[in-house]
Structure 1
Amino acid sequence: MIAQAAALLAAYVIGSFPTAYLVGTANGVDLRTVGSGNLGATNVFRTLGWKWGLLVYLADGSKGALPVLVLPSVIGAATGWPWGVVFGLVAILGHVRPVFLMGKGGGKGVATSSGVFIALAPLPALCAIVGFVIVVAMTRYVSLGSLVGAVILPVALLLQQRAITPLVIVGAAVGAFVFWTHRENIGRLRRGEERRVGRTSPAPSSGSRA
């Protein structure tokens, strides 16, 4: 029980690592006061450019994959269900509610979720990522691409496993969670007010808010 509790804490701490915040700080910007105010790869992309955005996406994805791949062996369990899934979900929670930022101001969980499912179910995760890329390329709405990927993931899991397995249920739950974290984006999409990618926002001082 002690090893399991320690591994769960480690998954949460790994997920909490504030990649976007640190990247913004290194560039003299508090990303919580710029653009969407979100500490995710999309806001980094808009504010600091695609290179920093890609770095944050890969780092946040790794925060999801590493607990799934490494921590089960620490407690003597197999990677996958159930412990790999549990550690992945805890890492996503850490990303959205990071302990290093007092449980506030995290990302929306898309990049970290993609890392979790790349480790758990590579092919369905790849299908979701491809869907995301296609939608963003066609519409330039990252939020819409994220929502489409959140729908594709559980469907692809269901097609792969040919049954409503625990992993399919978790995939559907994570997809629903992505919709919940994007509820404001959904409102802006409906009103035609959502920002498109393709241009970066100027990086104002940390005291300003866009």
Structure 2
Amino acid sequence: MSAAAAIAIAYLLGSIPFAYLAGMSRGIDLRTVGSGNLGAANVFRALGTRMGVAVMAADIGKGVVAVLVARAIADDPWPAVAAGAAMAGHVFPVWLRFKGGKGVAVGGGAVIGLMPLAAAILLGLWFVVLLATRYSSLASITGAAAATPLVWSLGYDVASVVFTGIAAAAVLALHRANIGRLLRGEENRIVLRRRPGAASGGSEATPPGGPSG
């Protein structure tokens, strides 16, 4: 029962749609704005940097808390399974007809809870790529591609390596449209300083399925 409870709690935590709630607090349904994705990147574009940072922190927190709760009530390998359940909740939230974000931030939070050293390295890599290119999607894709070899090389347990591999594969699959746009030079960059309400129009307008979140 403790394992089942850990997985259920993790999924429900992951399902909390912070991006959607942030948008609705401003009278904006993010599913109809920008990329239409319920993730932090779309919040940055539609609602500005401050709200984007807040949503990103909340989504990361979902992953961290899911793993910590699982560790408190269940033995290994269930915390790693709960990490996956939190990501699944974010991507397929029960409250929004199973259409959510791409799981990058909550997955990062789960990695923080499971593997702090790996998380620190991957977070650093993510920021370097984001600041160098302004492509949120490229930062997420790079982190996902690097995650499994890194976790394996650092000697983490099998459950953590398996979770990382599955999570990385899911992130890459969810970014397949972004990969195509990057290869064609059509991907839009994220602007870290943006006035709220400037989601549409201008050079930063994002087509459906745009940068990750």
- Tell whether the structures are fold-level matches, with TM greater than 0.5: yes
Alignment of 1:64-75 (within 5 A): 64-74=63-73
1:127 and 1:152 in contact (8 A); partners too? no
Moved more, 143-152 or 7-16: 7-16
2:111 and 2:119 in contact (8 A); partners too? yes
Match of 1:172 in 2: 165
The alignment of Structure 1 onto Structure 2 pairs a total of residues equal to: 199
How many angstroms apart in 2 are the aligned matches of 1:152 and 1:50?
27
1:132 and 1:146 in contact (8 A); partners too? yes
Alignment of 1:1-210 (within 5 A): 1=1, 3-74=2-73, 77-78=74-75, 81-104=76-99, 106-161=100-155, 165-198=158-191, 200=194, 202-203=198-199
1:11 and 1:87 in contact (8 A); partners too? yes
1:29 and 1:203 in contact (8 A); partners too? no
TM-score normalised by the chain length of structure 2: 0.87
Moved more, 128-137 or 4-13: 4-13
TM-score normalised by the chain length of structure 1: 0.88
1:131 and 1:152 in contact (8 A); partners too? no
How many angstroms apart in 2 are the aligned matches of 1:70 and 1:147?
28
Moved over 3 A (4+): none
Alpha-carbon distance, 1:142 to partner: 0.6
How many angstroms apart in 1 are the aligned matches of 2:72 and 2:163?
21
Alpha-carbon distance, 1:45 to partner: 0.5
How many angstroms apart in 2 are the aligned matches of 1:27 and 1:12?
26
1:11 and 1:90 in contact (8 A); partners too? yes
How many angstroms apart in 1 are the aligned matches of 2:3 and 2:162?
23
Task: Tell me the C-alpha RMSD between the 2 structures.
Answer: 1.8
2:80 and 2:159 in contact (8 A); partners too? no
1:32 and 1:38 in contact (8 A); partners too? yes
Q: Higher relative contact order at CA 8 Å, sep ≥6: structure 1 or structure 2?
A: 2
